[in-house]
Amino acid sequence: MTVRGAEPGDAEAVRAIRNHAIEHSTALWTQTPQSPAEGAAWLAAHLERGSAFVAEAEGEVAGFAVYGPWRELDGYRHTVEDSVYVREGRHGLGVGSALLTALIASAREAGHHVMIAGIEAENAASVRLHERFGFQHAGTVREVGTKFGRWLDLTIMRLSLD
Ligand SMILES: CC(C)(COP(=O)(O)OP(=O)(O)OC[C@H]1O[C@@H](n2cnc3c(N)ncnc32)[C@H](O)[C@@H]1OP(=O)(O)O)[C@@H](O)C(=O)NCCC(=O)NCCS
């Protein structure tokens, strides 16, 4: 498996992974899948910042990771939020860890100060992945989201990049 910077040609593979998570999980709190145009625009915004990576295994995109602004106001400009998604069927094989390694290194190199992860509280795989890289639990905000007819709690995790 190799991790490399994402390219515009990865947009459809990335969109398929995202849309699968939108349709089948509570990792992304929406039930509206991305269209091809929305997927291309979403990835392009990350490509401009150089904040998107893909993992390739056996000739296919096995997962992707991006970081972007945590909040929009300029006072938050040294804080980024990450997002890591591995293709169904390739979970638990180290793909997420390889992607997060590259993502953290890139955010550090870009001079960011803090990386935040916002995780649905019951997503044990994502919590474990982030713990493994030294993210610390900053708290869980109860019932701030909803999907599939139930309330969702958001666990915030924080990594210092200095
Ligand atoms: C969360 C996710 C990115 C993790 O990537 P991955 O490639 O499966 O993870 P890795 O194989 O690198 O494993 C990382 C750690 O998580 C643990 N882990 C993996 N799957 C797990 C699971 N289902 N339950 C508990 N821990 C799990 C691994 O054991 C490993 O910890 P360890 O080093 O202590 O053994 C992946 O499962 C995924 O894409 N899930 C769906 C989308 C999602 O939830 N994204 C995150 C949104 S916040």
User: What is the tens place of the pLDDT at every residue in 125-135?
Assistant: 999 999 999 99
> What are the strands of the beta sheet with 52-57, ordered from one edge?
2-5, 52-57, 60-69, 79-86, 114-120, 150-160, 136-147
Portion of the chain with pLDDT greater than 90, in percent: 100
What atom of ligand 1 comes closest to residue 92's alpha carbon?
A: 11
Ligand 1 centroid, distance to 73 Cα (angstroms) = 31
Ligand 1 centroid, distance to 95 Cα (angstroms) = 9
Is residue 52 very low, low, confident or very high in pLDDT (cuts 50, 70, 90)?
very high
Q: Which are the contacts of 134, defined by CB distance < 8 A and separation ≥ 6?
A: 159
Ligand 1 centroid, distance to 126 Cα (angstroms) = 5
Token pair belonging to 138: 């900053």
What's the pTM value of the predicted model, to 2 decimals? Answer: 0.97
What is the mean pLDDT of the segment spanning 66-86?
98
CATH class (in words) of the domain with range 2-160: alpha beta
The answer, yes or no, to whether any atom of ligand 1 lies below 6 A from the CB of 24, is no
CA distance 88 to 69: 27
> What is the model's pLDDT at position 29?
98
